[in-house]
Structure 1
Amino acid sequence: MKRHEISEKQWNRIRDKFPPEKKPQRGRPGKSNREMLNGILYWLNTGIPCRYLPDRFGPWQSVYSRFRAWTKAGVWENILTALIEQDLVDGTTLMLDSTTIKVHQHTSRGKKGDITRKPDGAEGA
């Protein structure tokens, strides 16, 4: 088992929470759910841009599109619920991706470039 990949025991706990794998119709067959999950885990754990995933995970577009499809289908919520039910994770687990947290200019109570703004109530002082 390589770093940032799940073990056989971990995979067996969550494998039924993923959508069924599609059978190949034309072209080369797609990667299995486990291989895609390992690519997603590598991407999220290392913090690298998705475009720089190692070649062993296949095209980065495939990893990203599978991640988005699973997000829309609620797969991540199902996995978290299953892990909570198995007492492997507590219900207070919280994950944030700081790359998507941005502060709007209004939340800082000032306009861009305005450093002379006075606090509320200090207008007449």
Structure 2
Amino acid sequence: MDRKQVAKATTKVISSYLTYQAVQTVLAQLMETNPTLARWLHSFSSRSIVQDGEVYLLALLAEHQELAFRIMTVREHLVEEIMDDLPEMVSHDIKHKNTQHRKQQLEKLTQLSVSDPTSSHLESSSE
């Protein structure tokens, strides 16, 4: 496992997700202040690749620089708001979910071996 490569890929995913959240925020703002521009941005976003935030922003810069700058500003603000809490939250969430998955799997395994009547019947007939 190349830790640096994993960190880079994770950063790209988080950056793209924050771009998506910034677009959603700007869309909500525009729906109240400029519905026509909101519809344009919604249409643009539906035909552009939002999964890759950087590709999306480059395409938006080519078509509507002001909106692209606004989305970049909101994205930057979002990352500043969440960055302090993010590492601890991600770590806690993964540990919690792993524990839940293990617990559910253990419950499945113990229910199967306790409630499987064919296995106890086979054991008693082989004695």
Structure-2-length-normalised TM-score: 0.30
Higher relative contact order (CA 8 A, sep 6+): 2
Tell which structure's C-alpha radius of gyration is larger.
2
Structure-1-length-normalised TM-score: 0.30
**Whose helix fraction is larger, Structure 1's or Structure 2's?**
2
